[in-house]
């Protein structure tokens, strides 16, 4: 009788042990899968600008369309909304967003434009009307009305298109290339 009781307890303990081994094995496997997923997951950085119109994000090498649009409008205004007194600040700010590869050529162009604005007493005001962003290629096209003034007198209005090519580095966008606009045409 005691032998049967002992045999029954041993069988019961072995089945409990086997059940616990299955649970521990499944938990270990799930930890391994979660750990591997964590290694390959990019961190999503939520950006909050001072004036929030829409939410946007950066995740790994991907950025939201809204972020591209906001950066495109911001930089296009720095490029085209100028006066002899504002261009030094605008150009200094623009150069902070340039890639190291594009910095030299962009600085040369901006210095040339600055001399042009000063010598003519030229002021321009840019009103973006349409923004087209492509998150896959990190390109933005900003179309709008550019009003030009010489010595405070309105000279002309023209429709201008500024194309901006970005590259993602370190969770942010850097300016790689700018084409279009007046007087920022590539030479």
Residue 20 lies in a domain: no
Residues 6 or more apart whose Cβ sits within 8 Å of residue 81: 90, 124, 125, 126
The neighbour count for residue 129, using CB atoms within 10 Å, is 10
3-state SS, residue 101: helix
End-to-end CA distance of the chain: 102
Q: What is the model's pLDDT at position 185?
A: 38
Buried b (16+ CB within 10 A) or exposed e, 1-18: eeeeeeeeeeeeeeeeee
Task: Render pLDDT for 76-125 as a digit per residue (tens, 0 to 9).
Answer: 999 999 988 998 999 999 999 999 999 999 999 888 888 888 888 899 99
pLDDT of residue 133: 93
Backbone angles phi, psi at 99, to 5 degrees: -70, 155
What integer pLDDT is reported at residue 66 of this predicted model? 87
pLDDT of residue 87: 87
Q: Which domain holds residue 142?
A: 60-180
In a domain, 128, yes or no: yes
- Extract the tokens encoding 84: 């002899």
The helix/strand/coil state of 46 is strand
Find how far residue 132's CA is from the centre of its chain: 15
4 within a domain of the structure (yes/no): no
The CATH code of the domain that includes 122 is: 3.10.450.230
- 56/149 Cα distance (integer angstroms): 35
Work out the number of other CB atoms within 10 angstroms of the CB of residue 30: 10
User: Does residue 18 belong to any structural domain of this protein?
Assistant: no
| Per-residue pLDDT, 21 | 94
pLDDT at 54: 66
The verdict on residue 31 lying in a domain is no
Specify if 163 maps to a domain. yes
Rounded distance between C-alpha atoms, residue 26 and residue 30, angstroms: 6
pLDDT, one tens digit for every residue, the chain (187 residues):
677 878 888 899 899 999 999 999 999 999 999 988 888 877 766 665 555 566 667 777 788 888 888 889 999 999 999 988 998 999 999 999 999 999 999 999 888 888 888 888 899 999 999 999 999 999 999 999 999 999 889 999 999 999 999 998 876 789 999 988 765 333 3
Overall number of domains in the chain: 1
């Amino acid at each position: 009788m005691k032998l049967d009781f002992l045999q029954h307890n041993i069988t019961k303990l072995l089945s409990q042990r086997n059940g616990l081994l299955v649970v521990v094995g499944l938990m270990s496997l799930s930890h391994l899968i979660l750990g591997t997923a964590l290694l390959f997951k990019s961190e999503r950085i939520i950006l909050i600008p001072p004036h929030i119109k829409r939410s946007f994000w950066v995740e790994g090498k991907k950025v939201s369309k809204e972020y591209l649009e906001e950066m495109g409008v911001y930089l296009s205004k720095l490029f085209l909304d100028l006066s002899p007194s504002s261009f030094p600040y605008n150009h200094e700010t623009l150069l902070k967003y340039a890639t190291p590869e594009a910095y030299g050529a962009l600085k040369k162009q901006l210095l040339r434009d600055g001399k042009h604005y000063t010598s003519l007493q030229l002021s321009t005001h840019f009103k973006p009307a349409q923004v087209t962003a492509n998150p896959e290629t990190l390109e933005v096209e900003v179309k709008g009305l550019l009003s030009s003034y010489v010595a405070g007198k309105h000279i002309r209005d023209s429709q201008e298109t500024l194309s901006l090519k970005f590259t993602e580095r370190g969770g942010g966008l850097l300016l790689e290339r700018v084409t279009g606009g007046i007087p920022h045409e590539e030479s």
